[in-house]
Structures are given as structure tokens and as C-alpha cells.
Amino acid sequence: MRDKFVLTHLEELEYESIYVIREVAAQFERPVLLFSGGKDSIVMTYLAVKAFYPAKLPFPLLHIDTGHNFEETITYRDELVAKIGAQLIVGSVQESIDKGRVIEEKGPTASRNLLQTTTLLDTIEKYKFDAAMGGGRRDEEKARAKERFFSHRDEFGQWDPKNQRPELWNIFNGRKNQGEHFRVFPISNWTEMDVWQYIMHENIELPDLYFTHQREVFLRDGQWMAKAPFMMLKDGEFYETKTVRCRTIGDVSCTGLTLSAANSLEDIIQEIAATRVTERGGRADDLRSEAAMEDRKKEGYF
């Protein structure tokens, strides 16, 4: 028993997220959980397992596969899905390209990051998902700071930031018209530090990419990027082997690596506490313009 009825911030965040995830299962007919293999979606999946235990997840996981993944992400994904007995659906960006739904960017800085939006919306439409849960956090980026827990999307999958539904207390309005859907962000109120602390507290297993390792990398615009068959070098760029780890995991073309010897969760937490750059500071996709995230979100991005 506790001597006073006060929760720690991690408990409070956990209870809030579990409440949101259960609310999704209760209010929607065909929800889905967007799983990227990054730490945020891993934590979200873990919270979902907790929310419905001892029953299995009442919704599938959806992975939008750019085809440009770190191998470790796919291995981890398949092991996790087997362990929790969840259903996995994969939406393939390669397939969208082959079908002519999208056109691949050209040149050395090409990324499939933007193309994901079309694949995501096509997959949502194909399976008639009416709510897609994502691991977005409000502390990540300034356009996300104004995102709702339950975020309404019109029949084109678009976000209208100036016309968002008011969201008060913990009463979530998931009512919608035919063809519309919701994006739901159960860990909206978590910070990067909270996520890491929770992973440590709950002893959650992560892909090896998050811990220090030797890798062939090259330097581009001040960012260390990983060597991969589909990555092209520009003039003056060259491969070298460095001791690195990922602070976030997206696909290879937009994930910057951090020079780091952090080998344990304790090391990582100390590193983040001392760091002076945000985790999205290493994401090439956000650096494109001041409103890059807002523009992508309006079109239907994660």
C-alpha cells in the first residue's frame, strides 16, 4: 500500500495512454496500430498489450514498409508480432511505386519518406480502417504540439489544423462520417525522456540499433548516415567506420546516426539528459522547411 494517493509521472502517463487505447477499441469498428519499429511505436504496442491483457490485441499492427529498412527493424518486428500473437499487415511503398501510385524521388538525397503517405492512405482505404494509432508525441515538433489525442481526418485523409475539434478533459469524440477516419496519438504527452525511462522501468526489449555498434557511415550536411545498397554518395562523401547508435529509427534514407558508446539504457538516458539537440534534429525530412512537418501532416502523414 502507498502512504499517499499520488502517482509518479510515468504511472500517470501510462494510465492516460492505456485509457486512450481502450477508448479507441471501444469507439471504432476497425482500428489499427501503426508500427514502425521505432521505440515510440514499440512502447505504444507494449501499452496496448497491457490495456487488453489477458485478451489479445483487438486490432492488427500495420507497418508501412519503405523497402529501405534497417534489417534489425524487420527482425525485431517479426519476433514481437509472434511473441504477442498479433496480426501484422504490411503496406509496401515498393508496391505503390510499381503500381504507379507514386514516383520515386531521384538523386542522392532521394527519400521514400514522403511516398509513405500515399501507401499509408491506400492501405487505410483498402482495409477500411477507421482509426489509426500512431506513436507521435507533442514534444517532437512544433506542429505536433497542437495535435489532439483524437485527430480527425477528412475523406482525403487530410488534417485541418485550423479546424480541429475541441478536446476537453478525457472525453474523446470519435464520431465521423462515411469515408473519414481518425489518427489517434496515445502517447501524445510523453517526452523522449519519458519514453526511455519507461523502457528502462518496464525492461522493454529494443532493436539492437538503439545501442552502440560499429557501422559503415558517411557524413552528409553534418549528419552521419548509414551505408546501404540504395544510398548514393555525393561528390566528396566517403564511407568510414564509426561507433554509432540510432536515437530515432525511421527508414535508412532519413535516419541520422549519433556517435555514441551508449551500451545500456542507463547510458542512453544519461546521454539524452546531457544532449543539446532534439531527436528530430537528425531527421533529414524535418529540415526541408520551417513548416515541413505541418505540410506533411496536412496531407495525411503519420
Partner 1 sequence: MSEFSTKGYLDMELLRFTTAGSVDDGKSTLIGRLLFDSKSIFEDQLEAVKRASIRRGNEHIDLALLTDGLRAEREQGITIDVAYRYFATPKRKFIIADTPGHIQYTRNMVTGASTANAAIILIDARNGVTEQTCRHSYIASLLRIPHVIVCVNKMDLVDYSQEVFNKIQHDYTEFSKLLDIPEVRYVPISALHGDNVVDTSTNMPWYNQGTLRQVLEGIEIGNDHNLIDPRFPVQYVIRPLSDEFHDYRGYAGRVAGGIFSPGDKVLVLPSMQESTISAIDLYKNKAGSAFAPMSVTLTLTDDIDISRGDMLVKPDNIPQITQDLDIMICWMNEKPLQVNGKYAVKHTTREVRCIVKEVKYKVNVNNLERIEGDIKVGLNDIAAVSIRTTKPLFTDPYKKNRKTGALIIIDEATNNTVGVGMVL
Enumerate binding residues for partner 1 (CB under 8 A): 1, 4-16, 18-19, 22-23, 25-26, 50-56, 138-139, 142-146, 161-162, 164-171, 173, 175-177, 188-189, 191, 193-194, 197, 200-201, 266, 269-270, 273-278, 281, 290-291, 294
What whole-number distance in Å separates Cα of residue 207 and Cα of residue 25? 28
State which residue, 103 or 168, has the beta carbon closest to partner 1. Answer: 168
State which residue, 70 or 150, has the beta carbon closest to partner 1. Answer: 150
User: Shortest Cβ distance from residue 159 to partner 1 (Å)?
Assistant: 11
User: Shortest Cβ distance from residue 53 to partner 1 (Å)?
Assistant: 5
State which residue, 118 or 188, has the beta carbon closest to partner 1. Answer: 188
State which residue, 14 or 65, has the beta carbon closest to partner 1. Answer: 14
State which residue, 106 or 162, has the beta carbon closest to partner 1. Answer: 162
State which residue, 177 or 214, has the beta carbon closest to partner 1. Answer: 177
User: Shortest Cβ distance from residue 79 to partner 1 (Å)?
Assistant: 20
User: Shortest Cβ distance from residue 105 to partner 1 (Å)?
Assistant: 23
What whole-number distance in Å separates Cα of residue 31 and Cα of residue 16? 18
User: Shortest Cβ distance from residue 95 to partner 1 (Å)?
Assistant: 33
User: Shortest Cβ distance from residue 118 to partner 1 (Å)?
Assistant: 23
Quickly list DSSP for the chain.
--SS----HHHHHHHHHHHHHHHHHHH-SSEEEE--SSHHHHHHHHHHHHHHTTSPPSS-EEEEE-S---HHHHHHHHHHHHHHT--EEEEEHHHHHHTTSS----STT--STTTHHHHHHHHHHHHT-SEEE----TTS-TTGGG--SEEEE-TT----GGGPPP--TT-------TT-EEEE-TTTT--HHHHHHHHHHHT----GGGS-EEEEEEEETTEEEE--TT--PPTT---EEEEEEESS---GGGBPEEE----SHHHHHHHHHH--S-GGGGBTTGGG-TTHHHHHHHHT--
State which residue, 138 or 215, has the beta carbon closest to partner 1. Answer: 138
User: Shortest Cβ distance from residue 189 to partner 1 (Å)?
Assistant: 6
